[in-house]
């Protein structure tokens, strides 16, 4: 069954994501594209995946579709291995499954 919960800033912070937003980024995206709630949130899956961890960077508002978040994924050497525009918990969990990560939003 699909988890239809929306991914929110509060949800991500509650499961350990760190706010990595710089004030100049907020100002830039607000001035350039009118995004008034821009933020970036980061999580490393060390605890779940050990040495095969991934780095997850969510960006609110910078997307190519109607999704709420852009998600960029790096391997443990900070090499890009994927990105996706998503809004829902089920989409995130499916992406983690595809990547072979044990990390999930529950």
Q: Which residues contact 6 (CB under 8 A, 6 or more apart)?
A: 68, 87, 88, 89
Rg for the chain, CA atoms, rounded: 14
- Using alpha carbons, select from 85, 100, 87 the residue that is nearest to residue 45: 100
Which run of H or E residues covers position 38? none
CA dihedral 43, 84, 82, 99 (to 10 degrees): 70
pTM, two decimals, is 0.92
22: CB partners within 8 A, 6+ apart: none
pLDDT of residue 2: 84
Residues of the chain predicted below pLDDT 50: none
Residue 61's pLDDT is 83
């Amino acid at each position: 069954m699909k988890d239809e919960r929306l991914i929110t800033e509060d949800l991500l912070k509650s499961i350990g994501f760190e706010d990595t937003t710089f004030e100049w980024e907020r100002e830039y995206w607000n001035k350039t594209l009118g995004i008034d709630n821009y933020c970036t949130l980061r999580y490393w899956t060390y605890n779940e995946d050990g040495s095969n961890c991934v780095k997850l960077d969510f960006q609110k508002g910078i997307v190519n579709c109607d999704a709420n978040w852009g998600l960029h994924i790096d391997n443990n050497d900070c090499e890009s291995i994927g990105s996706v525009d998503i809004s829902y918990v089920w989409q995130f969990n499916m992406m983690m499954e595809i990547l072979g990560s044990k990390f999930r939003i529950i």
